[in-house]
Amino acid sequence: MSVLFSLSQCILPLLVLSIAGYGIWKKVPVYASFIRGAKEGIRTAAALLPTLVGLMTAVGVLSASGFLSFLGRILGTFVREDLFPAPLIPLAFARLFSNSAAVGLLLDLYKEYGTDSKISWMASLIMSSCETVFYTMSLYFLSVKITKTRYTLPGALLSVLGGMGASVALANLFF
């Protein structure tokens, strides 16, 4: 086990040294290229910041106002409890926008139902099988200035729906 630990501590420095060594070998101005890339990265981060702040603020407001719980209660009346339990609806909705908000809701579910309950298993599986679709799309498409997303959103939402369905089915196998 100590060999793996030592190896894991060496991988990143070795990778950086090998990239720098390869650049030097190819006679590329490594430091100037690094500075140019860092400047470009800061510009990209500055361009993305307003979108990310808006997205995080919206999720925070929805969560703090109790809207997600309200949405869970309303939609829970239309969904069979064995198909998709109502306490998971706020988590599923928040997971589309923000991982940190979804983690907060997940911890609330753990406190309320316990970590070994069926709902907690479903929630854990949902967290591991679904993506923050809107966050990811806004981040990646905005950074490369793509304005026509075509079928990305419907495809991503369909895959999230499949992941959530698989999560519920797997949890039902074990409980």
Average pLDDT value for residue range 105-115: 92
Place of tokens 């409890």: 81
Domain ranges of the chain: 46-174
Give, as one character, the DSSP assignment of residue 26.
T
CB atoms within 10 A of CB 151: 8
Residues 6+ positions from 100 with CB-CB distance below 8 Å: 56
The two three-digit tokens of residue 63, written as one number? 């969560």
Least confident piece of the model among 80-84, 103-107, 155-159: 80-84
How many alpha carbons fall within 13 Å on the CB side of residue 63?
Answer: 23
Helices (H), 2-77: 2-25, 30-64, 67-76
For residues 131 and 164, is the Cβ–Cβ distance under 8 A? no
pLDDT value at position 150? 85
* pLDDT, tens digit, 9 for 90 and up, residues 87-108: 898 899 889 888 888 888 899 8
pLDDT at 113: 94
Q: Could you tell me which of 137, 135, 85 has the C-alpha nearest to residue 112?
A: 85
What's the pLDDT score for residue 100?
82
CA–CA separation, 98 and 51 (whole Å): 13
Position 1 scores a pLDDT of 64
Angle between helices 118-129 and 99-113 (to 10 degrees): 170
At 17, the pLDDT band (50, 70, 90 cuts) reads: very high
For residue 132, the 8-state DSSP code is -
